[in-house]
Amino acid sequence: MTKWAAAATAAMLAAAGLIFLYAPTDALQGPVQRIFYLHVSSAIAAYGCFAVVLLGGVVYLWKDSLAADRLARAAALVGVVFTTVTLVMGMLWAKPIWGAFWTWDARLTSTLVLWMIYAGYLLVRRLAASGRQAARFAAVVGIFGFIDVPVVHFSVTWWRTQHPGPVIVNNALPPEMLLTFLVTMACTLFLAAVLIAIRYQIETLTDETPAPAAVLDSGLRPESAR
Amino acid sequence: MMYLIPAYAFAVLVLGGYLAWSLRRLRELSRTMGTAKALPPRGGGAGVGAAEAAKALPPGQGGAPGSGSARPAP
Q: What is the per-residue pLDDT across A47-82, written as a single tens digit (0 to 9) for each?
A: 999 999 999 999 999 988 889 999 999 999 999 999
pLDDT tens per residue, chain B (74 residues)?
788 999 999 999 999 999 999 999 999 988 887 776 666 555 444 444 444 444 444 444 444 444 434 444 44
Nearest to A81 among B1, B7, B14 (CB): B14
Give per-residue pLDDT as tens, A2-40: 899 999 999 999 999 999 999 898 888 889 999 999 999
Tell me the β-bridge partners of A187.
none
Contacts of A95 in chain B (CB under 8 A): 3
Measure in Å the smallest separation between the Cα of A40 and chain B Cα atoms. Answer: 12
Task: Considering only CA atoms, give the Rg of chain B.
Answer: 26
Nearest to B33 among A32, A199, A208 (CB): A208
Contacts of A201 in chain B (CB under 8 A): 26
Measure in Å the smallest separation between the Cα of B33 and chain A Cα atoms. Answer: 7
How far apart (Å, rounded) are the C-alpha atoms in residues B74 and B71?
A: 9
Contact B18 A85 (CB under 8 A): no
Measure in Å the smallest separation between the Cα of B1 and chain A Cα atoms. Answer: 6
Q: Give pLDDT, residue B67.
A: 41
User: Which H or E element spans position A125?
Assistant: helix A106-127
Distances B63 to A206, B50, B69, B73 between C-alpha atoms, Å: 37, 11, 10, 13
Contact B7 A88 (CB under 8 A): yes
Q: CB of A70 within 8 A of CB of A130? A: no
How far apart (Å, rounded) are the C-alpha atoms in residues A74 and A172?
A: 35
Q: Give pLDDT, residue B60.
A: 45
Mean pLDDT for A86-95 is 95
Contact A81 B15 (CB under 8 A): yes
Q: CB of B36 within 8 A of CB of A210? A: yes
| CB proximity under 8 Å: A 46-85 to B | 81, 84-85
Mean pLDDT for chain A? 88
Contacts of A217 in chain B (CB under 8 A): 42
Measure in Å the smallest separation between the Cα of B25 and chain A Cα atoms. Answer: 7
How far apart (Å, rounded) are the C-alpha atoms in residues A53 and A70?
A: 9
How far apart (Å, rounded) are the C-alpha atoms in residues B23 and A152?
A: 31
Give per-residue pLDDT as tens, A142-172: 999 999 999 999 988 888 888 888 777 777 7
| Domains with residue ranges and CATH for chain A | 2-225 (1.20.120)
Which chain B residue is nearest to residue A206, measuring alpha carbons? B29
